[in-house]
Structure 1
Amino acid sequence: MTSLSFIYGVSLVVFAAIFDTTTSLQSRRHAALFVFGDSLYDPGNNNFINTSITHKANYPPYGETFFRFPTGRFSDGRLIPDFIAKYAHLPYWKPYLAPGQHEFTNGANFASAGASAIADNDPTVISLEAQLSNFKEVVSLLKQQLGDAEADQILRNAVYLSGIGGVDYYIFSDQYPNATESEMENYVQVVIGNILNVIKEIYALGGRKFAFQNVAPLGCTPLSKQSYNLTKTECWKDTQALARKHNQALVTAAKEFEIQLPGFNFIIFDYFTTLMNLQFNPLKYGFKEADIACCGSGTYHASDCGIGDYELCKNPNEYVYFDGEHLTDKANSRLGELFWEGGMNITAPLNMKQLLELELQPSEIKKFREDDDDGGATNDE
């Protein structure tokens, strides 16, 4: 009996060790998330750079609803990437530039308010190209800390989430108010081309799963309505047209990459359409006001939230927009949920949950690198 008790005890210890190891491996198996974008995604990176106050949200009333203090997010609370992180059991985003320790095995958020795909549009913020440089630094750190094999596994199964382009089109509309159809299309191709160049570089570093948020209905925001003296039912047609052209070109480009790049997986969240639905059917989604912003000055409260003499609503949860361009915590929550588990009419060909759960094999990356080393086709042609 004594020997049996001993064996039973040893078995329990071994089982516990195996269980702990398995649990540890499962906890590490979650997919990381790397985030690129502008003010719709920035968790406060601009707090740590020298840029104008209009590119920062580190003052009240930003952050008042959820965090209870301004974090640098352009909202009264969380952003769409925060809700994606919540559903994926990741921490709420800490800015990549924030000092202190970072857990890059969970990913990182590089987004910067005011960022654009065309770097020259505003050199005072962190352009998409500069965000890529920051990502490359993270890749180097992961390889140093974990070794190539484990780092490659993280990079291969990570999701690369991007939402950028809106700033480019606002700038173009301001600079070229009488642009022709051809000029618009050429500009869209430049923006898309710059985004694709970044995606190709991430792919070359091992990225295989890409999530795109398309451009907002830029002509329908409170800022556009106020800037062009529009009624509530109107949208500024030129900026709206640029957004539509961009979104169509993004779908085409992603599908081409799917054919050209082995193992390339993508989803596109139709932010344009879902936000239009919220804006033109607010009561259906639990909102009372979809045209006037909660915070700001002017006819639509579309400017200077937190700056100077501005007005602030009593209950942001009743509003779609918190300021002239950015959504409330509640609106971001609605859209984040749709991004996470929406149907094909909202996010396609998969939703974010399905993309994160998609586990890829290392053979595809190995093949790409061998082709590249041999001087063979790397699908960039």
Structure 2
Amino acid sequence: MTESSFLLVVFATALLIIPTFSLGKHSRPKLKSENKVAIFVFGDSVFDVGNNNYLNIGIEGKANFPPYGETFFRQPTGRFCDGRTIPDYAASYANIPYWKPFLDTSYQNFTNGANFASAGGTVIPGDNPITLNFGTQVGYLQQVANLLNETLGHTEAQKILRNGIYFSSFGGVDYMYYTSENENATESEQLEFVTTVIGNFTYWIEEIYQKGGRKFAFQNVGPLGCQPEMKQSYNLTGKECYEFVQTLATLHNNALSNMAIELERKLSGFTYLIFDFFTTLNDRIQDPAKYGFKESNIACCGTGTNRGTGCGRTTAYELCSDPNEYVFFDGGHPTESCYSELGELLWNGTSDVTWPLNMKQLYELEIYSADDGHFIDHKVIASSLISHQDIASY
């Protein structure tokens, strides 16, 4: 992609009109943020906890109906899962409540962070304009930052924003759309599209940095071609995966790593981790028994040969008796049981699955002190252990 075309993409993205969201009901008197780390979550359906419930979109973009949510919450919440997802497990390890969607206007304590993720959310705005793309989600972050300044004061707000973790999962939807429309794309055309996605993604990460963000957790794109939905669409069996979209995911993940390294070099105080969602999930798809699962090619819920589509949307869908035996709950999203294992790897994993830090180490990094208002050496990791406290209620 030429420099001029990239600038056009960034310019068009920057001109997006961010929908105004009233924070009136969130207003609270000034209070102390305490010594905990906020987590701000951005992404697509893998991270959505129900923001799409509040959007005027069709049922295909929502999961606010049974059997979603049946395992843990005992009701649908908008999560594309039978229970908790990776951001929920991160919240649990960080001793903050399970997420409610940002668009839920009931009181939320934004000193804990916020979840802006939207199923169908993309990096490139035009790929799916009816959901919350990355730029829109960053716009909501600015609204939260403004509210924190108003309710806590500048110093406390800066402490939250500087020490907070900015956790994102993007790209999968962009590549699924691209795959459906460009199956005959050449290698150079594929690489050009990946470069465009990463270029837009980098732009918004730098925007978060300008708003105060210093600690970034990137979940890379999963093995899209091995999902039950893709296997069903392309009549694949056994360990076969649709290689076209697998290649795009691999190209993206390599570019994401290079982007993070470059931003660390370029931006003072920028610290990051990359969680290898691709490999950790693919391992469970290719050898489910090794990780305690019985089935990885067929989803627990859905219709078709792999139960790859239609979970809960029609009376004809099938539902397994025990989601814990399955890697996937529906055609494109893992079960709570699978997410539980991946959440543990994100938080405590070794450098083969999350690098150069795991989430616990990133959590323990103190970037900015509100007591004296200056930056701390971001390479020094606190030695104290953070206890894991399960949150009992949603």
**1:96 correspondence with 2:115:** no
**1:166 correspondence with 2:159:** no
State the alpha-carbon separation in 1 of the partners of residues 195 and 216 from structure 2.
20
State the alpha-carbon separation in 1 of the partners of residues 361 and 237 from structure 2.
40
Alignment of 1:228-247 (within 5 A): 228-247=234-253
Aligned residue number for residue 323 of structure 1 = 330
Report the AA paired with residue 53 of structure 2: N
Aligned residue number for residue 17 of structure 1 = none
Contact kept? 2:63, 2:76, Cα under 8 Å: yes
State the alpha-carbon separation in 1 of the partners of residues 357 and 272 from structure 2.
8
Compare the two structures and name the one with the higher helix fraction: 1
In the TM superposition, residue 281 of structure 1 has moved relative to its aligned partner by 1.4
Aligned residue number for residue 202 of structure 2 = 196
Contact kept? 1:225, 1:232, Cα under 8 Å: no
Contact kept? 2:61, 2:120, Cα under 8 Å: yes
State the alpha-carbon separation in 1 of the partners of residues 118 and 53 from structure 2.
10
Report the AA paired with residue 107 of structure 2: Q
Alignment of 1:355-370 (within 5 A): 355-361=362-368, 363-364=374-375
TM-score normalised by L of structure 1: 0.88
State the alpha-carbon separation in 2 of the partners of residues 146 and 30 from structure 1.
15
Superposed CA deviations along residues 333-369 of structure 1, whole A, max 9, x for unmatched, are 010010010000000000001001100135459xxxx
SS class of match (1:136): helix
State the alpha-carbon separation in 1 of the partners of residues 231 and 333 from structure 2.
14
**1:343 correspondence with 2:347:** no
Aligned residue number for residue 321 of structure 2 = 314
Aligned residue number for residue 384 of structure 2 = none
Aligned residue number for residue 145 of structure 2 = 139
**1:269 correspondence with 2:251:** no
State the alpha-carbon separation in 1 of the partners of residues 58 and 49 from structure 2.
17
Report the AA paired with residue 274 of structure 1: T
SS class of match (2:179): helix
Aligned residue number for residue 182 of structure 1 = 188
Contact kept? 2:59, 2:313, Cα under 8 Å: no
Cα RMSD between the aligned structures? Answer: 1.2
State the alpha-carbon separation in 2 of the partners of residues 291 and 86 from structure 1.
29
Alignment of 1:62-77 (within 5 A): 62-77=68-83
Aligned residue number for residue 80 of structure 1 = 86
State the alpha-carbon separation in 2 of the partners of residues 303 and 255 from structure 1.
38
Aligned residue number for residue 155 of structure 1 = 161
Report the AA paired with residue 78 of structure 2: G
SS class of match (1:93): coil
State the alpha-carbon separation in 2 of the partners of residues 161 and 110 from structure 1.
10
State the alpha-carbon separation in 2 of the partners of residues 112 and 357 from structure 1.
28
Report the AA paired with residue 237 of structure 1: E
Contact kept? 2:348, 2:359, Cα under 8 Å: yes
- In structure 1, list runs of 5 or more residues that go unmatched: 1-23, 366-381
State the alpha-carbon separation in 1 of the partners of residues 149 and 203 from structure 2.
23
State the alpha-carbon separation in 2 of the partners of residues 317 and 77 from structure 1.
11
Contact kept? 1:45, 1:95, Cα under 8 Å: yes
Contact kept? 2:165, 2:217, Cα under 8 Å: yes
SS class of match (2:328): coil
**1:29 correspondence with 2:35:** yes
SS class of match (2:189): helix
SS class of match (1:322): strand
In the TM superposition, residue 51 of structure 1 has moved relative to its aligned partner by 0.9
Aligned residue number for residue 295 of structure 1 = 301
Report the AA paired with residue 360 of structure 2: K
Report the AA paired with residue 360 of structure 1: I
State the alpha-carbon separation in 1 of the partners of residues 35 and 375 from structure 2.
19
Identity %: 55
State the alpha-carbon separation in 2 of the partners of residues 194 and 139 from structure 1.
22
State the alpha-carbon separation in 2 of the partners of residues 143 and 181 from structure 1.
47
Contact kept? 1:42, 1:72, Cα under 8 Å: yes
SS class of match (1:174): helix
Report the AA paired with residue 205 of structure 2: I
Alignment of 1:246-257 (within 5 A): 246-257=252-263
State the alpha-carbon separation in 1 of the partners of residues 142 and 203 from structure 2.
14
The match for 2:56 among 29, 39, 50 is 50
Aligned residue number for residue 259 of structure 1 = 265
**1:334 correspondence with 2:336:** no
Contact kept? 1:262, 1:364, Cα under 8 Å: no
State the alpha-carbon separation in 2 of the partners of residues 201 and 253 from structure 1.
15
Aligned residue number for residue 372 of structure 1 = none
Say how many residue pairs are matched.
341
